[in-house]
Chain A
Amino acid sequence: MNSFIANDGAFASVRQPSSRPSIWNVLGRWAFIMPLIVLNLIVIIIPSIFGLLLAFTDWSGYGPINFIGTANFTKLFQDKIFFQSLTHNLVWTAFFLTIPIAVGLLGAYLLSSIRRGQMFFRIAYFLPYVIASVVNAQLWRQLLHPRVGIGPLLAQQGITFLDFPIFGTRETSLMGVAFVDAWHFWGFLVILYLSAMAAVDVELYEVARLDGATRFQQFRYVTLPSIRPTLVFTILMITIWSSLVFDYVYIMTNGGPANSSEVMGTYLYQHAFDRFDVGYAASIGVMMSLWAMIAVAGFVILRRRGWDI
């Protein structure tokens, strides 16, 4: 104790490392991380392994589990609806990597220059994100309703481009649902980007202004490079989340009409809970996980190559 409160030299003498840590020391360290390991084991690792194994079975969700090798994957690779769903997930990803990010960046940049009332806009933009998806979906189903929604109302004024059943038309159902999901999501991006922009050194903007940079040039050459880690993080997360999309599609169209808005998540659900084919559903789940792993791998590779993300 004395040595602990003495000068650095005395402290160092106490902290001299022994050649091998004692067994109690090692056990003590394990004891600290054991709760986390157990928790991870129960909540993540065991269910993941179980989910993976189910993909090689014909389990209906009720009775005995029989291993059937790779039959589910053979069927999956011949399943047109699955590939249609996968394509829709890709379209969904492309949409979310462009429109919401662009609008989020624009919103955050404009908001960052506001001093008064910024909190009001922050709350207003973020509010849809914390409202339950069921509520948001119902709200937009009414707003875009072909009888009582905005479409027929605008049509009375001669503006007819929204006067059709958006969620009931094959060509628009997927993008209609994506729009509603993006509406609830973009405020979240605004908040993230705004926080990142707040950390940018103001002197960089002053120098840019002295050099005669326009607002767009300041955004392009100062803001964007400065918030790149946040931007790349959101790109990664959107890519992963886009493979998992389920709730808005399930609530608003259930994948219809005629599979035009079917995504992997709803297709998985259909097999697991409507068709009692949990094994096949698990094989779809494996493909969804593979998507996420590819996205994470890309992120890791870029970091290893020295990207500041």
Chain B
Amino acid sequence: MNTYHFSKRLLLVLVVLMTIGVSGVHAQEKTVVTWWTEDYVDMDALTTLLIEPFNAAHPDIELQVVPTATLDDAVRTAFTAGAAPDILQTPGASFIGEYVNAGLIHPLTADAATLGWEGKLLPWAYQSGIIEGELYSVPLTYETMILLYNKTLFEEKGWAPPATYADIETIAAAAQAEGINPFSYGNAGFQPSNEHLVGIYLNNYAGAENVYKALMGEKQWTDPEFAEAISLLTKHIAEDGWFDGNLETYFTYGWNEQFTALASQEAAMMMIGTWGFRGAGEFFADSGSDWDWVSIPPFSDMAGEYNYMLATGSTLSVNGQSKNVDAAVSVLDFLFSDPARVLQIASGYSYGEFVVPLNYKAEDFPEGTDPRISRFYEDFATVTGQGRVGYTTWTFWPADSDVQLWKEIEQVWYGELSVEDYLAAHQATWDEARASGKTLPIPAR
């Protein structure tokens, strides 16, 4: 009897152990894909719109998205420890260059060809991730610079939205005559905001074609058209008081102040990235004013017809040390294959984040989308589709050149550094970047 009981118990234990073992094997079979993202994401929306649908569609994969503070610092440290996430999110293209140089990124060219990503993504966005013939990254979001204006103020004063540089000058003069600042902007809390203005003046005065040539090394940054562009910006911001009235106020205005000024009719216009849609929505809501946008007009004949400056925000790549490359690629493909899903996520950020550069159609936009925003995306697709594109500094400039551009421009504005010396120093950073292979991919025009 004892032997029987013993055998029965033994059998029971064995069954339990085997069950645990089998379930363990099952648990191990499920591939976990990790993706560390910025800590300001709306995790509820991301869970509902991306994580759960992906996991449901891929029973053998579990996607884990982890909001991470100071994301790039954390990722960089994790790489050193050999514990970086499978999907690599970086703050921008210049970071990707560094990772690629270090051999830490998995090339996606073959996967992209198999999965047809070139057809799903906007052509320039796809090309922006190609370094030395291999696709290494895809933008998680894209943006461009636009001109927001206080529509109510414009209607009250009888001003038409500016279509030319002459219009801007006329409006600026009329606004200043009435004690209104032509433009609102500032760099408090984010000093690189300077580069938004520098980039606009380089592209819209010297012209995107000239900027492209300089990016490719076919022109020097010290050439006269670039010097004139920087001089014009310096005149507007330091002498004419176009931005917030004076330089000192520009240096103390941040996101809240600049939108408050625009919404309260303290300022008439604002040149900002498309992330500004979010600010416009928030700050105009109870202001009694309404807003609208136009593309930034060319500032000179050299600039030709208006265009949109290309810009990528965060980028996505696959960790070259990952053991789950295929699963990570399937997450990216899931994202690129459903434009409506992406726009639904992006709408939660007023289209300021998570706008993956896909070929969107009108029906992809969620119901109730602000027509001003959908109008932008339609126009952006049309204009950039015709090759009318400019270049943002944070997407196409090497890191050192970019920092020099936004850091030292303040000395130019204060007259501590001549425009010539500023641009000569800028050219020197480019020469160094070119010599050390740190230039970034530039989509062909």
Question: Is B46 positioned at the interface, with any CB of A under 8 Å from its CB?
Answer: no
Indicate if the CB atoms of B407 and A270 lie closer than 8 Å.
yes
- From A7-15, A60-68, A91-99, A233-241, the one touching the partner chain is A60-68
- From A16-24, A32-40, A167-175, A283-291, the one touching the partner chain is A167-175
Interface size class of B (residues with CB under 8 A): 20 to 34
Among A63, A168, A276, A277, contact of B252 (Cβ-Cβ < 8 Å): A168
Question: Is A110 positioned at the interface, with any CB of B under 8 Å from its CB?
Answer: no
Task: State which residues 177-228 of B face A: CB under 8 Å.
Answer: 187-188, 191
A-B contact count (CB 8 A): 77
Residues of B within 8 A of A60 (CB): 98, 101-102
Number of interface residues of A (CB under 8 A): 28
Indicate if the CB atoms of A274 and B403 lie closer than 8 Å.
yes
Interface of B is mostly: helix
Question: Is B248 positioned at the interface, with any CB of A under 8 Å from its CB?
Answer: yes
Among B76, B187, B188, contact of A62 (Cβ-Cβ < 8 Å): B76
Interchain CA distance A273-B249 in the complex, whole Å: 27
Question: Is B131 positioned at the interface, with any CB of A under 8 Å from its CB?
Answer: no
Indicate if the CB atoms of A168 and B400 lie closer than 8 Å.
no
Interchain CA distance A277-B103 in the complex, whole Å: 17
Residues of B within 8 A of A254 (CB): 191
Indicate if the CB atoms of A275 and B399 lie closer than 8 Å.
yes
Among A61, A253, A258, contact of B411 (Cβ-Cβ < 8 Å): A258
- Closest A residue by C-beta to B72: A273
Indicate if the CB atoms of B103 and A168 lie closer than 8 Å.
no
Indicate if the CB atoms of B98 and A168 lie closer than 8 Å.
no
Task: State which residues 265-294 of B face A: CB under 8 Å.
Answer: none
Indicate if the CB atoms of A168 and B188 lie closer than 8 Å.
yes
Question: Is A165 positioned at the interface, with any CB of B under 8 Å from its CB?
Answer: yes
Question: Is A88 positioned at the interface, with any CB of B under 8 Å from its CB?
Answer: no
Question: Is B365 positioned at the interface, with any CB of A under 8 Å from its CB?
Answer: no
Residues of A within 8 A of B173 (CB): none
Indicate if the CB atoms of A170 and B101 lie closer than 8 Å.
no
Question: Is A51 positioned at the interface, with any CB of B under 8 Å from its CB?
Answer: no
Indicate if the CB atoms of A63 and B411 lie closer than 8 Å.
no
Indicate if the CB atoms of A258 and B104 lie closer than 8 Å.
no
Indicate if the CB atoms of A276 and B98 lie closer than 8 Å.
yes
Residues of A within 8 A of B98 (CB): 60-63, 276
Indicate if the CB atoms of B407 and A147 lie closer than 8 Å.
no
Question: Is A128 positioned at the interface, with any CB of B under 8 Å from its CB?
Answer: no
Quote the shortest CB–CB distance from A211 to chain B (angstroms): 55
